[in-house]
Protein backbone atom coordinates (compact mmCIF):
# COMPACT_ATOMS: atom_id res chain seq x y z
CA UNK A 1 0.00 0.00 0.00
CA UNK A 2 2.71 2.46 1.00
CA UNK A 3 4.64 2.17 -2.24
CA UNK A 4 1.60 2.83 -4.41
CA UNK A 5 2.04 6.55 -4.17
CA UNK A 6 5.53 6.28 -5.64
CA UNK A 7 4.38 3.81 -8.29
CA UNK A 8 3.59 6.29 -11.01
CA UNK A 9 6.75 8.32 -10.51
CA UNK A 10 8.71 7.88 -13.72
CA UNK A 11 12.48 7.71 -13.74
CA UNK A 12 14.50 9.40 -16.46
CA UNK A 13 14.37 6.44 -18.86
CA UNK A 14 10.64 5.95 -18.41
CA UNK A 15 9.98 9.65 -18.89
CA UNK A 16 12.10 9.56 -22.07
CA UNK A 17 10.10 6.56 -23.28
CA UNK A 18 6.76 8.20 -22.58
CA UNK A 19 8.11 11.35 -24.21
CA UNK A 20 9.07 9.58 -27.39
CA UNK A 21 5.69 7.84 -27.54
CA UNK A 22 3.82 11.06 -26.84
CA UNK A 23 5.88 12.70 -29.57
CA UNK A 24 4.93 9.99 -32.07
CA UNK A 25 1.31 10.29 -31.00
CA UNK A 26 1.24 14.05 -31.40
CA UNK A 27 3.12 13.80 -34.68
CA UNK A 28 0.52 11.40 -36.02
CA UNK A 29 -2.27 13.62 -34.74
CA UNK A 30 -0.72 16.59 -36.54
CA UNK A 31 -0.52 14.66 -39.83
CA UNK A 32 -4.17 13.76 -39.40
CA UNK A 33 -5.01 17.42 -38.87
CA UNK A 34 -2.82 18.43 -41.80
CA UNK A 35 -4.74 16.05 -44.06
CA UNK A 36 -8.00 17.51 -42.80
CA UNK A 37 -7.00 21.13 -43.48
CA UNK A 38 -4.74 20.30 -46.43
CA UNK A 39 -1.86 22.32 -44.98
CA UNK A 40 1.39 21.53 -43.30
CA UNK A 41 1.19 21.57 -39.53
CA UNK A 42 4.30 21.74 -37.39
CA UNK A 43 4.74 21.16 -33.71
CA UNK A 44 6.86 23.87 -32.12
CA UNK A 45 7.35 22.46 -28.66
CA UNK A 46 6.76 19.47 -26.48
CA UNK A 47 7.48 19.31 -22.80
CA UNK A 48 6.83 16.52 -20.34
CA UNK A 49 6.05 17.10 -16.73
CA UNK A 50 5.02 15.35 -13.62
CA UNK A 51 2.89 17.75 -11.58
CA UNK A 52 0.69 17.53 -8.49
CA UNK A 53 -2.89 16.99 -9.65
CA UNK A 54 -3.96 20.15 -7.85
CA UNK A 55 -1.65 22.23 -10.07
CA UNK A 56 -2.62 20.66 -13.39
CA UNK A 57 -5.60 23.01 -14.04
CA UNK A 58 -3.20 25.97 -13.84
CA UNK A 59 -1.43 24.67 -16.95
CA UNK A 60 -4.57 25.48 -18.94
CA UNK A 61 -5.42 28.76 -17.24
CA UNK A 62 -7.03 27.73 -13.94
CA UNK A 63 -9.68 25.33 -12.64
CA UNK A 64 -12.63 27.59 -13.47
CA UNK A 65 -11.49 28.56 -16.98
CA UNK A 66 -13.44 27.11 -19.89
CA UNK A 67 -11.38 24.57 -21.81
CA UNK A 68 -11.96 21.85 -24.35
CA UNK A 69 -11.36 18.24 -23.47
CA UNK A 70 -11.13 15.22 -25.72
CA UNK A 71 -11.68 11.97 -23.88
CA UNK A 72 -10.81 8.59 -25.34
CA UNK A 73 -11.27 5.27 -23.65
CA UNK A 74 -9.84 2.11 -25.11
CA UNK A 75 -9.94 -1.63 -24.68
CA UNK A 76 -8.18 -4.57 -26.29
CA UNK A 77 -4.79 -5.69 -24.97
CA UNK A 78 -5.32 -3.20 -22.20
CA UNK A 79 -7.95 -0.84 -20.97
CA UNK A 80 -7.36 2.72 -20.02
CA UNK A 81 -8.05 6.22 -21.14
CA UNK A 82 -6.44 9.33 -22.38
CA UNK A 83 -7.38 12.94 -21.98
CA UNK A 84 -6.36 15.81 -24.22
CA UNK A 85 -7.11 19.30 -22.95
CA UNK A 86 -6.61 22.64 -24.59
CA UNK A 87 -7.63 26.23 -24.19
CA UNK A 88 -10.50 27.63 -26.30
CA UNK A 89 -8.09 30.14 -27.86
CA UNK A 90 -6.13 27.24 -29.29
CA UNK A 91 -9.32 25.61 -30.52
CA UNK A 92 -10.59 28.82 -32.10
CA UNK A 93 -7.27 29.26 -33.90
CA UNK A 94 -7.44 25.67 -35.14
CA UNK A 95 -11.03 26.16 -36.27
CA UNK A 96 -9.88 29.20 -38.25
CA UNK A 97 -7.35 26.92 -39.91
CA UNK A 98 -9.89 24.15 -40.44
CA UNK A 99 -12.54 26.37 -41.94
CA UNK A 100 -10.06 28.47 -43.88
CA UNK A 101 -10.96 31.64 -41.99
CA UNK A 102 -8.78 34.65 -41.35
CA UNK A 103 -6.86 34.31 -38.07
CA UNK A 104 -9.08 35.59 -35.25
CA UNK A 105 -12.30 35.26 -37.28
CA UNK A 106 -13.77 32.57 -35.04
CA UNK A 107 -14.80 34.03 -31.70
CA UNK A 108 -17.70 31.88 -30.59
CA UNK A 109 -18.44 28.23 -30.43
CA UNK A 110 -21.69 27.82 -32.32
CA UNK A 111 -23.00 24.70 -33.96
CA UNK A 112 -20.64 24.72 -36.91
CA UNK A 113 -17.59 25.51 -34.76
CA UNK A 114 -18.53 22.81 -32.28
CA UNK A 115 -18.94 20.30 -35.05
CA UNK A 116 -15.54 21.24 -36.51
CA UNK A 117 -14.14 20.90 -33.03
CA UNK A 118 -15.68 17.46 -32.63
CA UNK A 119 -14.15 16.40 -35.92
CA UNK A 120 -10.81 17.77 -34.82
CA UNK A 121 -11.09 15.95 -31.51
CA UNK A 122 -11.88 12.76 -33.33
CA UNK A 123 -8.79 13.03 -35.52
CA UNK A 124 -6.35 14.17 -32.86
CA UNK A 125 -7.57 11.69 -30.27
CA UNK A 126 -7.65 8.56 -32.38
CA UNK A 127 -4.46 9.40 -34.30
CA UNK A 128 -2.62 9.93 -31.03
CA UNK A 129 -3.78 6.68 -29.51
CA UNK A 130 -3.24 4.67 -32.72
CA UNK A 131 0.34 5.86 -33.04
CA UNK A 132 1.13 4.58 -29.57
CA UNK A 133 -0.67 1.29 -30.17
CA UNK A 134 1.28 0.80 -33.41
CA UNK A 135 4.61 1.68 -31.84
CA UNK A 136 4.10 -0.97 -29.18
CA UNK A 137 2.31 -3.50 -31.40
CA UNK A 138 -0.69 -3.36 -29.13
CA UNK A 139 -4.26 -3.89 -30.12
CA UNK A 140 -6.05 -0.92 -28.60
CA UNK A 141 -9.57 -0.18 -29.72
CA UNK A 142 -10.42 3.41 -28.97
CA UNK A 143 -13.96 4.48 -28.10
CA UNK A 144 -15.43 7.30 -30.16
CA UNK A 145 -13.82 10.39 -28.67
CA UNK A 146 -15.98 12.60 -26.54
CA UNK A 147 -15.46 16.33 -26.89
CA UNK A 148 -16.41 18.40 -23.87
CA UNK A 149 -16.49 22.15 -23.35
CA UNK A 150 -16.47 22.94 -19.65
CA UNK A 151 -14.38 24.25 -16.74
CA UNK A 152 -10.81 22.90 -16.71
CA UNK A 153 -11.19 21.43 -13.24
CA UNK A 154 -14.40 19.63 -14.15
CA UNK A 155 -12.88 18.09 -17.28
CA UNK A 156 -9.66 17.10 -15.54
CA UNK A 157 -11.70 15.43 -12.78
CA UNK A 158 -12.55 12.73 -15.30
CA UNK A 159 -8.89 11.77 -15.62
CA UNK A 160 -8.15 12.43 -11.95
CA UNK A 161 -10.89 10.14 -10.66
CA UNK A 162 -8.84 7.18 -11.87
CA UNK A 163 -5.30 8.47 -11.36
CA UNK A 164 -5.82 9.86 -7.87
CA UNK A 165 -6.90 6.47 -6.58
CA UNK A 166 -3.23 5.53 -7.00
CA UNK A 167 -1.23 8.69 -6.64
CA UNK A 168 -1.34 12.46 -6.13
CA UNK A 169 0.64 13.38 -9.24
CA UNK A 170 -0.24 13.31 -12.91
CA UNK A 171 2.00 12.96 -15.95
CA UNK A 172 1.29 15.52 -18.63
CA UNK A 173 2.67 16.34 -22.06
CA UNK A 174 2.42 19.98 -23.09
CA UNK A 175 2.71 21.11 -26.67
CA UNK A 176 1.97 23.88 -29.13
CA UNK A 177 1.66 23.67 -32.89
CA UNK A 178 0.54 25.48 -35.98
CA UNK A 179 0.85 26.05 -39.69
CA UNK A 180 3.80 27.86 -41.24
CA UNK A 181 2.04 31.22 -41.04
CA UNK A 182 0.35 30.86 -37.68
CA UNK A 183 0.77 29.06 -34.41
CA UNK A 184 -2.00 27.68 -32.28
CA UNK A 185 -0.42 29.07 -29.18
CA UNK A 186 -1.38 27.71 -25.87
CA UNK A 187 -1.31 24.54 -23.98
CA UNK A 188 -2.32 21.18 -25.15
CA UNK A 189 -2.22 18.64 -22.33
CA UNK A 190 -2.09 14.90 -22.75
CA UNK A 191 -2.91 12.94 -19.61
CA UNK A 192 -2.60 9.17 -19.73
CA UNK A 193 -4.49 7.09 -17.21
CA UNK A 194 -2.53 5.15 -14.61
CA UNK A 195 -3.40 1.92 -16.42
CA UNK A 196 -2.29 3.32 -19.74
CA UNK A 197 1.13 4.28 -18.39
CA UNK A 198 1.54 0.86 -16.85
CA UNK A 199 0.67 -0.82 -20.15
CA UNK A 200 3.03 1.41 -22.10
CA UNK A 201 5.96 0.85 -19.78
CA UNK A 202 5.55 -2.89 -19.48
CA UNK A 203 5.10 -3.37 -23.23
CA UNK A 204 8.14 -1.31 -23.94
CA UNK A 205 10.18 -3.58 -21.70
CA UNK A 206 10.30 -1.38 -18.62
CA UNK A 207 8.93 -3.26 -15.64
CA UNK A 208 6.70 -1.27 -13.38
CA torsion sign, 172 to 48 to 29 to 150?
positive
Q: Which is nearer to other proteins, 42 or 208 (CB)?
A: 208
Q: Which is nearer to other proteins, 19 or 153 (CB)?
A: 153
Q: In angstroms, rounded to a whole number, what is the distance separating the alpha carbons of residues 141 and 75?
A: 5
Q: Which is nearer to other proteins, 178 or 192 (CB)?
A: 192
Left (φ > 0), alpha (ψ -120 to 50) or beta: where does 154 sit?
Answer: alpha
Residue 162 C-beta: closest distance to other proteins, Å: 6
Residue 188 C-beta: closest distance to other proteins, Å: 18
Q: Which is nearer to other proteins, 69 or 186 (CB)?
A: 69
Q: In angstroms, rounded to a whole number, what is the distance separating the alpha carbons of residues 124 and 202?
A: 25
Binding region for other proteins (CB under 8 A): 1-2, 4-5, 53-54, 57, 62-66, 69, 71, 73, 81, 143-144, 146, 148-158, 160-162, 164-168
Instruction: Locate all alpha helices (DSSP H) within the chain, ordered by sequence.
Output: 4-7, 12-37, 88-99, 111-135, 152-163, 194-203
Residue 8 C-beta: closest distance to other proteins, Å: 12
Amino acid sequence: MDNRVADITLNKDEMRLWGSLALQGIDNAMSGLATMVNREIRMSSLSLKQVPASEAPDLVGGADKMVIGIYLAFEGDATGHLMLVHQPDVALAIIDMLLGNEPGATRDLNEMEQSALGEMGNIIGSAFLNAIADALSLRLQPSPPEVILDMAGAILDVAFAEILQQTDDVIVAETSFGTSDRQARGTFLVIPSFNFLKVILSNAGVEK
